[in-house]
Amino acid sequence: MLKKRRGKIPSLLSFSTGKPYKDTTKKEAKCNRCNLVILKGKTCFKVPKRSNGFTNDKIHCLTCVQEILQQTQKEIDEVKEELQNTEESVL
């Protein structure tokens, strides 16, 4: 099985323009990140990405979507922590 890693794990904050959603492949597809072949009729996740004014839903395998979610969670946690450490009240 050919697996390709493309450097740093992206997060939804940096590359997505919407919420990923579960889908079933209608034909054989490749994961947009690791190039893993996802057979027809299998579960995948689509991550909306806007480019050139069009929304393009990128197919991801379950492993990659999990990694992306973890990365996103990590970034959100960092922001949360910064917010919690901010003394100033905004109310």
The alpha carbons of the chain give a radius of gyration, in whole angstroms, of 16
DSSP 10: P
Q: Which is nearer to Zn ion, 2 or 83 (CB)?
A: 2
Q: CB count, 10 Å around CB of 46?
A: 20
For position 44 contacting Zn ion by CB under 5 A, the verdict is: no
- Output the smallest distance, CB 38 to Zn ion, in A: 8
Q: Hey, what are 70's tokens?
A: 């973890």
- Output the smallest distance, CB 40 to Zn ion, in A: 17
- Output the smallest distance, CB 31 to Zn ion, in A: 3
Which one of the spans 39-47, 57-65, 68-76, 83-91 is the region binding Zn ion (CB under 5 A)?
57-65
For position 12 contacting Zn ion by CB under 5 A, the verdict is: no
Residue 41 near residue 27 (C-beta atoms within 8 A): no
Alpha-carbon distance 29 to 62, whole Å? Answer: 13
Which of 12, 64, 68, 72 binds Zn ion (CB under 5 A)? It is 64
Give the type of residue at 5. R
Q: Which is nearer to Zn ion, 41 or 91 (CB)?
A: 41
